[in-house]
Structure 1
Amino acid sequence: MENLSSMAVFPCFLILCALIVASAQQQRYSNISLGSSLTPSTNSSWLSPSGLYAFGFYQLTNGYAVGIFIAGIPEKTVVWTANRDDPVFSSNAILLLTDDGRLILQQEDRDDVNIVNPAQSVASASMLDNGNFVLYDSSGRIRWQSFDHPTDTLLPGQCLPAGEDLVSSASKTNPARGIFRLAMQTDGNLVQYPVEMDGPNYAYYSSGTYGRVDNVSLILDNDGHLYLFNGSTIVSNITTGRYRARTIYLMRIDVDGILRLYYRRWILKETGLKNGHPRKIDVPLWMDTVAECECLPGFDHVNPGNWTSGCERNFAMEACKASNPNINYEIRSLDNTVWEDANYAVLEGLTKEDCGKACLEDCNCDAALLKDRSCRKQRLPLRYGRRFQNSSDVALIKVSTTSKKGVLGDPGQEIKKEIRLDILIISISLVALSALILLITGIYVHRNRASNK
């Protein structure tokens, strides 16, 4: 029965995608013929007919990438990047639609890089006004389009089909794959996970549409309406949407893992694209509008400028002292906090104090999770930490009593150390100055005596 149900829905899904493709073909486009090329410094992009979107080079901090971006506005808003996990190219690169129908990037002393991989050779290309970059064969049929290969962004008219996902970028300046993903699952559920993880234990958002229907897609309309669609009916509305004339919409899973819907008003004039200020709507897949990521007590960010790089201990673990194992350590607790439960020992029926003591006295224990009087001892690394409102989970972290440098440490200790250091420096300076004065005085007295003789 499940297979029959799937077969009944699947044709509708194919019709939906066919309609989207047909819409893409009806968009105005400028023909890009075989032999056409781009370079980062001159003729760097191919524009859509209105100049709204562009395909070509855009600058990174350490080179250039190839992608699709909204053109004609002060800041380039990138919506798609080629060769995402290795996106950086040099300033002498050449993007070429070859005479034999391949889209490649050439660099000195390096092999050619395929920017896209169509199943067959192509005869022309187009940058459409809806943000879709398309490759055609000699009969005008689409052989490849960027709408079928989204990175972290959906544009109006673009769908995320069942079994596909969006992955956040590594940072605002690095388009490589980051640490969060949005998965349109084959069971009809839209779910957000850390990358490379799956299953309900790791999800931090779910649409709750599991098992209703098969072959559900995530769709973004031209009016900003974001919804789940199975080819015949709307399964669930993510946003209601509201039509605004001359408005650009896009949906992105951002670096911080939050799914957001952005819009920007624009007016196309003969002089070019006139734009207003960008706005964003937080899609209700998260309780907060800004993700706040902190390290656990006793830990600091590996890279202070990029919290996605993770955390590391800010103190060195000394060898375990069997006679007095807790001499240099204490337990710090965080309420409503959990992470991946990779425990090596479970102790039942313990209070928070008992669980903390058990971890403190165990040389192998770096932290413990306590839930419903179940104490679960953990070793590093601790992964996928989360906080939940009104949760009974308590995290117990072993930290050094001699280091208060952590994110949740005691700033007063640092201030006292700085004051003591300043006093020491001043004292040494005064002693040195006094010695210098005595030396100068001695020399002066000695010369006076010598001259009087």
Structure 2
Amino acid sequence: MIPSPSNVTLHFTSEGRLRLQTQAQQKEIVNSASASSASMLDSGNFVLYNSDGDMVWQSFDLPTDTLLLDTETYAYYATNTGGVGDNVTLHLDGGGHLYLVNTNGFNIVNITDGGYDNENLYLLRIDPDGIFKLYSHDLGQNGSWSILWRSSNDKCAPKGLCGVNGFCVVLDDRRGCECLPGFDFVVASNWSLGCIRNFQEEICKSKDGSTKFTMSTLENTWWEDASYSALSLSTQEDCEQACLEDCNCEAALFEDGSCKKQRLPLRFGRRSLSDSNILFVKVGSPEVSRQGSKKELRTNILVISVSLASFTLIILAISGVLIHRKNLLAYKKISETGNVGLTEDVALRSFTYMELEKVTNCFKEEIGKGASGTVYKGAISNGQRIVAVKKQEKVLAEWQREFQNELKVLGRTHHRNLVRLLGYCLDGRNRLLVYEYMSNGSLADLLFTPAKQPCWVERVRIALNVAKGVLYLHEECETQIIHCDIKPQNILMDEYRCAKISDFGLAKLLMHDQTNTFTGIRGTRGYVAPEWHRKLAVTVKADVYSYGIVLLETICCRRNVDWSLPEEEAILEEWVYHCLEAGELGKLVGDEEVDKRQLERMVKVGLWCILDEPSLRPSMNKVLLILEGTVDIPVPPSPGSFLSSI
């Protein structure tokens, strides 16, 4: 549809051109040399014909929000059939009769009785309020439109009006939206974007086992049933306590002895006085919040005043001495206790430094280099197996922690989409790790080198393999792991170009009852989730964000920010969303032949993964199901629409 001013005129020329024209300018809509005549059909469709009477162009293929007389469209209606059965079309006749017809031409459902005045004009439309309405227009001189029928009298019946974690209410016959207790609108002027928490997420339980949350109640509401656990409990107090003690439970719905535990986000909420249920929502404890804020304020004042007034000169004078002593103590501690702690946690082969020096031919062939060390090519098992040996260049405390972290993480994991750690060396000051050799380099080498770029089928396989690796870390390990640095440079390719995740130096291991953690910012710019910068609790959804960026890069074979491109294409996520919105996804892959439905599915899941609000991002299990085509996915909101919540 092309928005046009009231003074525009439509011109159809003898050359087959269709133009919109004003006094100041003109816009060409169609240029078809074979077009010789035009017609406005009763359906509202404007069409062009050639000299043989064949249609060569039409203003729309299918109706959108409006149905006129003798127009048909495919219908999807709430009959609990799940779409099983014959294709069904929706029809409207001259008497205002609205009905459904199957492929055999039989009337299977009467939606309206019809029998209205045949002299009137009728149309069926989905109005902006989401309600389906049948209108009648008197063709007399002072005729006007009137509503004969509507699909629902409940203004909150259309789903999704208030976005996730919001619910629809009607006050004085006016519809509005409200947020769950403890939540605020993402954008106050746009309810459809939903609501996010207005308190800082904490680790579920304190060290003493006490919870840091309270439960808030909300009565007489209806929500989509997406419960992960249903309990039979006699009282609402039992239901409230069951959710409070479950770190995975973020809300619970109690009705008639049934307690259904829910995870956020909650969807399709509306006020329903006929429902006697009670919704319990987990919110931050007011006492903890007040005590924390007062303590934080006092601490900040003290630190600032003391720093500025008392210790500035002293810190400058002794900082060098303290740093030197710290490094000496750290190395001493590493030498005395480092080996014991590591060997208790892992079951890998231990190498001596002399063995690895021989394996790598005195560290002759360098195949990679990073901030904490250099990687060399070597061979073990009498030269029968090629390996990669990572040598830590300096024994700094920070890099020592990364070394121990990587050893602990990879020592307890085994998956075909994770790089396998074969052994390690803790010999005096020497710290080395021995990995399986990945002969095809990193995903970054493939994607960002034009001559090496993989085909579409291979890129889809890579995306699936990386998703399986991240899913294993999040849900299938004995200890849940947040990788914290998913990026193309840390995804390596073996001889069969099977993608494997590497570099676990920044990974974070969670306890069995822990769902989030507070830690200093980790990862690489461009792939780091927004919650890192806001010093919020970090969950596995941080890895989902990084995976979303990598997925979009894999689709388009380009970096997420590239200022050598035109300004509108420089930032990948913005350009991808624009192409999705404009129906121009083909631009993302150029002339390459791809499965268009698969492309659209991958783009949508990538955009869902990089939403600013962590609770809106899908889990990696959901991501994998969508990529495999098992689960449908709706159109995501614009990533930029959530920036105002930062």
Q: Could you state the TM-score of these two structures normalised by the residue count of structure 1?
A: 0.47
The one of the two structures with greater contact order (alpha-carbon pairs below 8 A, sep at least 6) is 1
Higher share in strand: 1
Q: Could you state the TM-score of these two structures normalised by the residue count of structure 2?
A: 0.34
Higher share in helix: 2
